[in-house]
Amino acid sequence: MEAEIKSQRNCITSRRYFIYGVRDLKVLVIGLLEENSGKTTIASSLTSYLNGEGFDSTAFKPIGATEIWTNPFVLKESKKRKMVVTSDSLLLHRASSEKEPISIINPFGGLLIPIILEKFATLNSFKAYQSSVSSRLALSRLTLCRENVKNLHLVNENSLRKTTKNMEYEIYEIITYVENPVKVDENYLVELLSGGATSEMDACLNYLEKRHEIVVIESNSDVASPTRRCLESDAVILTSPGLAMVIDGNRFKKAVEILTSNGKPWVIKSEEIVPLTKRVFSIELPLLHDQMEGYPKESLDQIIEYIKGLKRK
């Protein structure tokens, strides 16, 4: 795996180019809703079109997770790639022209499994477990982007005891394919998802920034900024069904800093930012019958031109 990544690094370095008078930048895509805001569709579409405009662009999603009951194809892809991949990371990887290892584009990826009611003593305990992402993360991957890139796979056996035998079998089969499987408990996963792995994620972002002109970052859920480094973005796109709002990156950062004094922007929700900043402009988004196809270019032209203008400043 490391040899493959080094080979891709060399290829990327040789492909990298610089344009005089044009600066590198980051674009952060955040969602107004906890789920189904359309972040991945915007991030992947923008990355693809910016590449088509001649810019060396890549996507980046620090934290991602996929429900395998509704997205079973990730099981096959995880076995094929010998590491956990999510549905979003596959789409962002493709939009980035597969210039980077998918593990660096998405340093933390997890597989969420369904749980069954009969494993719980009460309905309330079932509901509480169901609503906890860390509890249902049966198998996760954490990529360490240090001097030597390394994938760790985290096995939550307690989660596996709460699902069906068939689902348990599917996960254990993937475990036989992946590298460095380590048993962890839910408290460890909670700590990781509450900021414990942000330095590792920022190391991966730093890697991408050094090699590409534009990094399009997708946040998770309705989190304002998934890591500290993501907060240093030049432009922020707040998405919700049917609408995308463009916010100046400096204004956005100041708004987040007003709301938190602990240096943890990931505890701030996107909706909290809206009253504290002004939009540069908004665009309406068309209804998509196939999310995988992304938005038509003309619907994102105003955002693309805005990003190109930032690069000329």
Long-range CB pairs of 272-275, under 8 A, 24+ apart, other chains included: 272/224, 273/224, 273/238, 273/247, 274/32, 274/238
Please report the pLDDT score of residue 16 as a whole number: 43
Of 98, 91, 90, 109, nearest to 44 by C-alpha is 91
pLDDT of residue 23: 61
Q: What is the pLDDT of residue 72?
A: 96
Contact of 109 with 139, CB cutoff 8 Å? no
Name the nearest CA neighbour of 80 among 167, 174, 158, 5: 174
Q: Could you give phi then psi for residue 143, rounded to 5 degrees? A: -100, 130
Q: Any idea where the domains of the chain sit in the sequence? A: 20-56+213-313, 61-211
Residue 196 is predicted with a pLDDT of 92
| CATH class assigned to 20-56+213-313 | alpha beta
**pTM confidence score:** 0.91
Tens-digit pLDDT string for the chain (313 aa): 444 434 444 443 334 444 434 468 999 999 999 989 999 999 999 999 999 999 999 999 999 999 999 999 999 999 999 999 999 999 999 999 999 999 999 999 999 999 999 999 999 999 999 999 999 999 999 999 988 899 999 999 999 999 999 999 999 999 999 988 999 999 999 999 999 999 999 999 999 999 999 999 999 999 999 999 999 999 999 999 999 999 999 999 999 999 997 889 999 999 999 999 999 999 999 999 877 789 999 999 999 999 999 998 7
Query: What is residue 128's three-state secondary structure?
Result: helix
Helices 73-81 and 165-175: angle between axes, nearest 10 degrees: 20
Rounded distance between C-alpha atoms, residue 75 and residue 84, angstroms: 8
